[in-house]
Amino acid sequence: MWAVSTLTMLVLAGILPDFRLQSADGDSATDIAVTAAFGAGAFGLLSALVWPLLVRLLLLVPALVLGLLVFFLNGALLLLALRLNPTEQGDAAPETAVVVAAVMSAVASATGAALAVRDDDAYRRRLYRLADRRRRASPAGPAGHGTVFMQLDGVGHDVLLDAVGRGLMPTVARWLGAEAAPGRRPSHRLTPWRTDWSSQTGASQLGILHGHNHDVPAFRWYEKDRGEVMVCNRPTSAADLQRRAVEATGDGGLLTFDGASRGNLFSGGADEQALVLSIATRRRSRENRSRAGYFAYFSDPANAVRTAMSFVAEVGREIGQSTRARVHKVRPRVGRGGLYPLVRAFATVVERDVVVAAVTGDMLAGRTAVYADLVAYDEVAHHSGPRSRDAAKVLERLDRCLALIENVAEHAPRPYRIVVLSDHGQSPGETFRTRYGLTLGDLVRAGCGLPVPRKARRTHSGAEARAAVRAALRRPVEEGREEYRPADHPSEPIVLASGNLGLVSFPDVGHRMSKEEIDARHPALLTTLANHPGVGFLLVRSEEHGGVVLGPFGAEIPLDELDDNPGPLADFGPGAADVVRRTHSFPHTADIMVNSWYDPAEGEVLAFEEQIGSHGGLGGAQAKPFLLSPLALSAPVEAGAELAGAEHVHRVLRRWLRETHGPQVPLSDPQDRRAA
């Protein structure tokens, strides 16, 4: 390694004009070689000794800034290494030092990997350096199988099968014994499952990890009793949701028995946590540093440089792909400017590398249960489409991550079973605003008789809503006059979007409003929404029926009659009535729940957010994720039965842990514990 680094430094000194290894008067070849060897050795030692201390400081730096700092700090270490040379012959311009340090780190990383190819002990030592430094080995040593749960965020069941059939995921194909891997006996089974109405990571992962996602109606919703908007990926909201789930179940979660949680929204009760959102608001301590995974990974400067270079490359790749989409006028399409290239690069490079490294460290440390979330596909599919070429490339890289984890299992101190699952899928389709020229919020305001932007007012939908308001109020409005706004109802509705699920709440009313109350206050609102072609159905509370589903042409179906007469839910498939009834029972369900139109022939929905691949409501692939489990574990459900709901998935995963480790793993819910 030292020899290769020395040679690299000599080559760079010959190429770069602002980098020299000799004095101004010139030196012999021997002196230059000695200077290079000293500089390379000093740089290597500084990287090993000083870099980990710098990375601890980087834990205080926003993650998106991390990539640039890696290059500059590495360059600073090189300048320091040259200054330490007793002959003081080496020198470099600061900007050149950054380039030299990056190249040397990259070459060193490649050399180390090449030297370790045929040396299992060296490979194992390198993987151990990726492990969480705070982990202490169990004195008795691990017994039995460990389990790794890898969540591929947003990858639907059908998308996975398509990727396997196209040869994009050879590791998964080999596990399934698919045609893409001829001659292989399957080692895993693939099972689809059905999400709750709120088909998004917050509801699904809370149910999977903690066995309780009651009262999570969407990705974001308004809680009237607290006057607060809850957002699943906001640290304070995630911490509150986890606390509620633990209080409801009386149990810490799936990972309470020697578990590790990596890159998740929630901890699952794990002892070891890294990049876990629900603990991000706690006071920093040795036990709960949610960003400790960064230190474990970036303490190796070769990792830092490699990931930083991949980060920059991914930013360039996204800019190129979005430019190509604009030039070729690809439809549907959403804006991908601003900070999005950086957000995508973080999700597809930094988060992936850190999480996979943490998982490999957990396996080599012999942890019993590990649950990790890889968000790369979900982020790209939102903006490029779930079956786009961009998303397909991400699936290829995720398959390589699974192959690496499988490889690491061969070096772990205990055998591991690898379970792969997703929390939801994604449904394609253009946005509501693209198709109709106004947002759901604009439509709600128009239906309430409130002012809307001039552009939205001129759309067909906006004009129809304003006409409906005038007719319902029997109040003619002169041309050029501002829309009627009832003086006794000054409070404006809060309209929130979660994919193709919309939520409308009236904050000045302390309880969940009934259909009768809404009609009395805004006579045209429910009719306007229910009859809009971009809306599939509404859920509202009814004083007469308890709860009703509203659809076009005056359809009004009580919830207890949906099994016999699904009405507007017919296109949404089996199980739709069950999840709608369940959501109706939540204390914080919005006054009006709005699910977008759905085309069952094309599988398309209309997102109320600016996404061409969306999830969060009912309709299409978003509600059909997958569970890929080893055949050595019991079948998730009996033949012909359906795996429905995230809480059901939690019970299956908990059962698998108990099959391996017996009563050491707690039962999944109070009822099961009482029965035991």
- Which segments of 448-544 does DSSP mark as H helices, in order? 454-457, 460-473, 515-521, 525-530
Domains of the chain: 2-118 (no CATH), 146-429+622-675 (3.40.720.10), 432-611 (no CATH)
Distance CA 599, CA 592 (A): 22
Token digits of residue 418: 């690898």
Number of neighbours of residue 653 by Cβ within 10 angstroms = 26
Token digits of residue 571: 């296109």
- Per residue in 290-329, pLDDT (tens digit) is 555 566 677 666 677 677 778 888 888 888 888 888 888 8
Closest CA to 514 of 591, 584, 447: 591
Distance CA 56, CA 419 (A): 33
Place of tokens 């690809």: 330
Residue 232 has, within 13 A of its CA and on its CB side, a CA count of: 24
- Give the chain's residues under pLDDT 50: 62-64, 116-121, 123, 130-141, 286-288, 477-489, 670-671, 673-676
What DSSP string describes 36-72?
Answer: HHHHHHHHHHHHHHTHHHHHHHHTTS-GGGHHHHHHH
